[in-house]
Homo-oligomer: A and B are copies of this chain.
Amino acid sequence: MTQPLVKAFVFDVFGTVVDWRGGIAREAASFLNAYGQANASPEAFADAWRSRYAPAMQKVRSGERPFVRLDVLHRENLDDVLPEFGIDKDAVPTHVLDELNLAWHRLDPWPDSVKGLARLKTRYIIAPLSNGNIKLMVDMAKHGGLPWDAILGAETAQAYKPTPQAYLRAVDALMLKPEEVCMAAAHNSDLVAARACGLKTAFIARPYEHGAGQTTDLKAESDWDFIVNDLNELADAAGA
């Protein structure tokens, strides 16, 4: 084992553990069809919804608005994306939009995720360190069988990644030193921020997170402590 000090692995979730694009597109397809936009691309809808994610969190990170759960931001962003797809939000019952918003709670794990996490769990504490809220993470874990030891992340920290507090409050909750916690993510920027806080880092390549034409995060862009292709490879590398 190459990292004897690591006692916990904490995970980015959207894109790293679950396939958000495929899951959102699946539910968007039914929705677009029901509201007269059957010719629209469900994947484009997923991309458009997701594209509002970072700017919405930035308003919290900058202090422009107080911390609110990701469910709230997702719901606002859904309203915002509808006109782009020719849908008048006032023509859709609120409960339909609320239900579509819960598609983020029902995302499927990548094929290796459950087995890889279960293996890591035998030797390490494993927890999400996601910007998703607690209930979102709990529902997703029950939907997909993700065997987390605890739910950490933005809501417990009251801060969105890559704000340092998001990482450091998770480390504190685990009563560990930063170097005893390894951040696992498919996004180099997440690992840059985690490393700056003193955490160990694991890059999981997810070259289809954004579909076949993905251009970002195709490979590790630094000398991360672990560089692997999936969570079983991470378990192998971590001796679990």
A residues lining the B interface (CB < 8 Å):
71, 125, 133-135, 137-138, 141-142, 148-151, 155-156, 173-175
Contacts and interface: CB of A to CB of B under 8 A. Distances in A.
Contact of A71 (B71, B148, B175): B175
A92 to B, nearest CB: 22
Given A149-B141, A150-B150, A151-B150, A175 B125 contact: no
Contacts of A173: 134-135, 155
Given A173-B155, A175-B71, A142 B134 contact: no
Contacts of A175: 71, 133, 135
7 contacts: A125-B142, A134-B150, A134-B173, A134-B174, A135-B175, A148-B150, A155-B173
Contact of A125 (B138, B149, B150, B156): B138
- Counting chain B CB atoms within 10 Å of each CB, the highest count among A133, A150, A155, A174 belongs to A150
Given A125-B138, A137-B150, A141-B149, 19 more contacts: A71-B175, A125-B142, A133-B175, A134-B150, A134-B173, A134-B174, A135-B173, A135-B174, A135-B175, A138-B149, A138-B150, A138-B174, A142-B149, A148-B150, A149-B151, A150-B150, A150-B151, A151-B151, A156-B156
